[in-house]
Amino acid sequence: MNKNEQQLNRDAKICTRWAFGLTLIFIVIFPGVMFITGYNYSLSFFKGWTYLSFGWLIIAGFFIAFRPVVEFMKGSNDQL
């Protein structure tokens, strides 16, 4: 296994841990604590949570879509 594959495997493990950690926090722990404490969800809170979620999805989508293009452009400039 060469150095690039080792780095790629190490980065994949870090990204997997971050993904599971953030999922656990945002989907299980944060709403679970409010549910356990008896917090009553209001319509404005739900709207805010929904806007925040969609904003996060849109930003993540742009990043995932355009990051490979940026990396490609950087790589093509480095080769010149």
**33 and 2 within one domain:** yes
**Do residues 31 and 45 share a domain?**
no
Regarding whether 34 and 1 lie in a shared domain, the answer is yes
- Asked whether residue 22 falls in the same domain as residue 46, the answer is no
CA distance 56 to 53: 5
Residues 13 and 28 in one domain: yes
Residues 18-75 pLDDT 10s: 999 988 988 888 878 888 888 888 899 889 988 998 998 999 999 999 999 998 888 8
The band of 2, judged by pLDDT with boundaries at 50, 70 and 90, is confident
54: domain range? Answer: 41-79
Q: What pLDDT score does 61 carry?
A: 94
In this structure, what token pair is assigned to residue 78? Answer: 């480095």
Whether residue 15 is found in the same domain as residue 33: yes
SS (H, E, C) 45-74: HHHHHHHHHHHHHHHHHHHHHHHHHHHHHH
Number of H helices, E strands in the chain: 3, 0
**Number of domains the chain contains:** 2
Taking residue 34's Cβ as centre, other Cβ atoms within 10 Å add up to 13
In terms of pTM, does the model score above 0.75? no
Identity of residue 55: G
Q: Are residues 32 and 52 in the same domain?
A: no
- The predicted structure's pLDDT at residue 80: 62
